[in-house]
Amino acid sequence: DISDVSAFRNALQLGTAATRDVGADNASKLLDLDSFRSMMSGNGYIYIPCIATTGNPVKLMLQWGTVATQKGADAGYALPFAFPYAGLFATGNRGTSGYNAAMNVRIASRTHISIQNWSPSGEGTEDCCFIALGY
């Protein structure tokens, strides 16, 4: 056994992190890599562990994808992955070559975004690439 653990830790030049517990359930613990989850694909997400202002753990979810939108329409579209609690923010842009009209993207609910495609109405769809943040 080591008679003076603190002196031993100092001799090894270990900082205070060496005395911390690992996990994501409160503010005094270090995060382990298991706290970071992701799906890296065309429609994907990443969870980012955080501590809320209340001191409780929360995971921010950043997701992205491409949605086929109706021309000249303002409509709701299902997110590839529902936010566990709420959506906070969404933005996007035209993912289709050709007409250069804007697309407005916003959070509609924890499961949907709304996309307003300003191109002239007509047959067919146009892709919108989006990024959405929620928790």
**Structural domain for 65, as ranges:** 36-134
Q: What is the pLDDT of residue 111?
A: 98
Place of tokens 């590839």: 80
* 21, part of any domain: no
The whole-model pTM stands at 0.75
- pLDDT, residue 29, reads 63
Is residue 28 situated within a structural domain?
no
What is the side-by-side order of every strand in the sheet holding 38-39? Answer: 38-39, 44-51, 57-70, 125-134, 87-94
| Residue 51 belongs to domain with CATH number | 2.60.40.3940
Looking at the 3D structure of the chain, how many domains does it have?
1
Residue 128 forms beta bridges with which residues? Answer: 67, 94
Note down pLDDT in tens along the chain; length 135 residues: 788 888 888 888 887 777 766 665 555 666 667 778 899 999 999 999 988 888 888 899 999 999 999 999 999 999 999 999 999 999 999 997 777 788 999 999 999 999 999 988 888 899 999 999 999
92 in a structural domain: yes
